[in-house]
């Protein structure tokens, strides 16, 4: 599968996404390139949890159109006056366990 990177994908953001995942302990990092283009990096979970320190780490990268939640986020940012592309990398964390 080939992808036309001339549509505005900035691949220099990939190391920033990987660093954010590893440093912050999040499982998903998203960079909004434009209204129609998003770059995601997601750590593949093991039995619903992040892998332990001594286990292999699989990171899946998606470059493409935004999904429903990402389109809603873009719409909310535009309504709040935030310019697109969004400058900051958006992180998602696993929910806390209930005791």
**What's the total number of domains in the chain?**
1
Closest by Cα among 66, 22, 19 to 40: 66
Q: Does 17 reside within a domain?
A: yes
Q: Does 97 reside within a domain?
A: no
Q: Is the pTM of this model over 0.75?
A: yes
User: Whole-number mean pLDDT of the chain?
Assistant: 87
Cis peptide preceding 92, ω within 30 of 0? no
Q: Does 98 reside within a domain?
A: no
Determine the pLDDT at residue 19. Answer: 93
Determine the pLDDT at residue 6. Answer: 53
d(CA 61, CA 59): 7
What is the mean pLDDT of the segment spanning 5-23?
84
Note down the domain range covering 62.
5-92
What is the mean pLDDT of the segment spanning 34-61?
89
Contact call for residues 70 and 63 (beta carbons, < 8 A): no
Q: Does 46 reside within a domain?
A: yes
Greater confidence (89 vs 83) lies with: 89
Determine the pLDDT at residue 87. Answer: 83
């Amino acid at each position: 599968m080939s992808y036309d990177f001339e549509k505005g994908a900035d691949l220099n953001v990939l190391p920033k996404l990987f660093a954010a995942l590893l440093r912050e302990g999040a499982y998903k990092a998203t960079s909004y390139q434009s209204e129609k283009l998003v770059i995601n990096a997601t750590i593949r979970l093991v039995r619903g949890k992040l892998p332990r320190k001594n286990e292999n780490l699989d990171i899946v990268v998606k470059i493409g159109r935004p999904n429903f939640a990402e389109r809603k986020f873009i719409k909310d940012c535009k309504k709040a006056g935030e310019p697109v592309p969004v400058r900051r990398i958006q992180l998602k964390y696993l929910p806390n366990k209930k005791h």
